[in-house]
Amino acid sequence: MNLRQLEVFHAVMRAGTVTGAARLLGVTQPSVSTVLKHCETQLRMPLFRRIGGRLHPTPEAEAILPDIEAIFARLDSVGRQLRDLKGGSIGTLSLAGAFPIANGYLAATVASFLAERPGVRIVLQALTSSELIDRVVSREVELGVGLEPVVHPEVETEVLVSSGVACVMRDDHPLAGQEEIAIGQLDGMSITTFLSRAPLRGYVDRALSDAGVVPHISVQVSMSMTGMALAYHGAGIALVEPFLLSTLPLPGLVARPLRPRIEMKTLLIRARSAPRSALMTRFVTHLRREVPRLLGS
């Protein structure tokens, strides 16, 4: 029995008549009769007996019915899965973010996305900028979220959000009571900021220099979280991304914006010409909606 014959047999078993089966399948009555007759001829045995205008299954038909019902149950399952995939409610998504992003608003966005789609599975990695680019290029990661600059011939980028480096400090620091910090006020202050090779360090140095501030950089770190921990323990002000504090407040620490602003752009990073799943498209839409809310921008 081919799939069409199985389909007609299943419909006749459900409806009990050729007319009913034709209605279920959306075809004409003669076409159902033709397929059924051809099927019985091929099998060299009757599947139905015609009594009083109805089709009564033979014992052989009853014997094969459970297996055929199982086939159509699987087909229904495939149909539901395809609809869910198209709707972005199931599937697996592979994401990576720079450390402060992955542990901050990207984690928060993944959680809210999953709350609406319990059938989705997500792999989320926190990586250095170079690792992130490598994973996107090799297509181990479908979407990366990192800070500019990103220059690589095999990736394409879109700006997700613009934000600024902030002063993170203990809530009992002398400057903690201000709504914003003028860069000139950092003159003579003990500062923790990024290593000299970090992309954002150039932005920090340039802003301090333009303001005529000779920085007293007491500690250099590779991760914003480390700078926040140092600030918490009294090592002065950390000039870092405040992403983590926006979504995971740490009691005793505050973040204050700088003026003038040290702007940084967060980028969506994808392999050039890579196909984009319906699930990914829906996640990016969700991310674009959630990030401004989480960052208060």
pLDDT > 90: percent of the chain = 43
DSSP H helices, 53-172, are 59-87, 99-102, 105-116, 129-137
* The predicted structure's pLDDT at residue 172: 95
Residues 175 and 145 in one domain: no
**Token representation of residue 285:** 């839409």
Domain boundary among 42, 69, 86: 86
Residues 247 and 277 placed together within one structural domain of the fold: no
Q: What is the domain-level CATH number for residue 220?
A: 3.40.190.10
Contact 257, 207 (CB under 8 A): no
- The 10s digit of each residue's pLDDT in 65-112 is 888 888 887 777 676 666 655 665 557 889 999 988 998 899 999 999
Give the pLDDT confidence of 131-154 residue by residue, as tens digits: 999 999 988 899 999 998 898 999
Domain for residue 74, yes or no?
A: yes
User: Does residue 267 form part of some domain?
Assistant: no
* Whole-Å CA distances, 199 to 65, 151, 223, 232: 66, 12, 12, 24
Pairwise pLDDT comparison (33 vs 277), residue with the higher score? 33
Same domain, 170 and 37: no
Where is pLDDT greater, at 278 or 231? 231
pLDDT of res. 86: 63
Task: Please give the residue that has the higher pLDDT: either 186 or 243.
Answer: 186
Residues 43 and 129 in one domain: no
Please give the pLDDT value at position 247. Answer: 83
Per-residue pLDDT at 295 exceeds 80: yes
CATH label of the domain that carries residue 29? 1.10.10.10
What is the rounded average pLDDT for all residues in the chain?
88
Q: Is residue 266 part of a domain?
A: no
* Predicted local confidence at residue 252, as pLDDT: 92
Domain annotation covers residue 195: yes
Same domain, 126 and 148: yes
Percent of the chain scoring above 70 in pLDDT = 95
- Tell whether 196 and 142 lie within a shared domain: no
Note the pLDDT of residue 90: 53
Residue 149 lies in a domain: yes
- The reply to whether 51 and 177 lie within a common domain is no
Same domain, 276 and 145: yes
Domain co-membership, 171 together with 239? yes
DSSP letter for 149, please.
P
> How confident is the model over 150-171, as a mean pLDDT?
93
Ramachandran bin of 236, using left for φ above 0, alpha for ψ from -120 to 50, beta for the remaining angles: left
Planar angle of CA 6, 8, 10, nearest 5 degrees: 65
Q: Comparing 47-56, 133-142, 224-233, which segment has the lowest mean pLDDT?
A: 47-56
- Long-range contacts of 130-133, Cβ-Cβ distance < 8 Å, separation of 24 or more: 131/96, 132/96, 132/97, 132/98, 132/269, 133/269
Place of tokens 């969506």: 268
How many domains is the chain built from? 3
Do 55 and 181 belong to one domain?
Answer: no
Q: Tell me: do 255 and 177 sit in the same domain.
A: yes
Residue 233 lies in domain:
166-261
What is the rounded average pLDDT of the residues 285-292? Answer: 93
Residue 31: DSSP 8-state: H
Note the pTM of the prediction, 2 decimals.
0.67
Residue 117 lies in a domain: yes
pLDDT over 70 at 294, yes or no: yes
Regarding whether 153 and 286 lie in a shared domain, the answer is yes
Give Cβ neighbours of residue 110 (< 8 Å, ≥ 6 apart).
95, 122, 124
| Residue 44 belongs to a domain | yes
